[in-house]
Amino acid sequence: MVAQVHGGAVVAADAIGRPRSRVWRTLRRDPAFWFGAVIVALGVGAALFAPLIAPHDPNQAFRADGLTPGGDPVGPSAKYPLGTDRLGRDELSRLIYGARTSLIIGLGANVIATLIGVSVGSIAAFAGRPSLRVGRGRRSVEVGVPVESLLMRTTDVFLSLPALLIAIAVVAVVGPSIQVVIGVVALLLWTAIARVVYGRVLVVGRSDFISAGMAAGIARRRLLLRHVMPHVMPIIVVYTTLGIATTILFEATLSYLGVGVPPPTASWGSMFADHVGFYRTDPLVVILPGLAIVFTILAFNLLGDALQDALDPRSWR
When pLDDT is cut at 50, 70 and 90, the band that residue 306 belongs to is confident
Residue 73 is assigned to a structural domain of this protein: no
pLDDT at 39: 92
Q: Please give the residue that has the higher pLDDT: either 137 or 146.
A: 146
By the 10 Å C-beta count (0-12 exposed, 13-18 middle, 19+ buried), 202 is classed as middle
Give the C-alpha distances (Å, rounded to integers) separating 270 from 94, 98, 110, 177, 214: 11, 9, 21, 13, 54
Residue 256 is assigned to a structural domain of this protein: yes
pLDDT at 77: 85
pLDDT at 232: 83
Distance CA 46, CA 40 (A): 10
The region, left, alpha or beta by phi > 0 then psi within -120 to 50, assigned to residue 55 is alpha
Residue 295 is assigned to a structural domain of this protein: yes
Residue 210 is assigned to a structural domain of this protein: yes
| pLDDT > 90: percent of the chain | 10
Is it the case that residue 189 has pLDDT exceeding 60? yes
pLDDT at 315: 52
Q: What is the number of structural domains in the chain? A: 1
Residue 309 is assigned to a structural domain of this protein: yes
pLDDT tens digits for range 120-138: 988 888 776 554 454 455 5
Is it the case that residue 142 has pLDDT exceeding 70? no
| pLDDT > 70: percent of the chain | 86
Closest CA to 247 of 117, 81, 70: 117
pLDDT at 309: 77
Distance CA 197, CA 193 (A): 6
Beta carbons of 72 and 278 less than 8 angstroms apart: yes
pLDDT at 174: 87
What global pTM score does this model have? 0.78
pLDDT tens digits for range 262-271: 888 888 888 8
Most confident among 6-15, 129-138, 294-303 (mean pLDDT) = 294-303
pLDDT tens digits for range 192-232: 899 988 888 888 877 777 777 777 777 777 877 787 888 88
pLDDT tens digits for range 31-81: 888 999 999 999 899 888 989 998 898 888 888 888 888 877 888 888 888
Residue 196 is assigned to a structural domain of this protein: yes
pLDDT at 2: 39
What value does the mean pLDDT of the chain take? 80
DSSP string computed for 175-202: ---HHHHHHHHHHHS-HHHHHHHHHHHH
Mean pLDDT across 255-268: 85
DSSP string computed for 128-174: ---EEEESSGGG-EEEE--HHHHHHHHHHHHHHS-HHHHHHHHHHHH
Provide the residue range defining the domain that includes 288.
3-46+96-315
Distance CA 54, CA 97 (A): 8
Residue 90 is assigned to a structural domain of this protein: no
Residue 80 is assigned to a structural domain of this protein: no
CATH number at residue 241: 1.10.3720.10
pLDDT tens digits for range 268-292: 888 888 877 777 777 777 788 888 8
When pLDDT is cut at 50, 70 and 90, the band that residue 114 belongs to is very high
Mean pLDDT across 288-297: 89
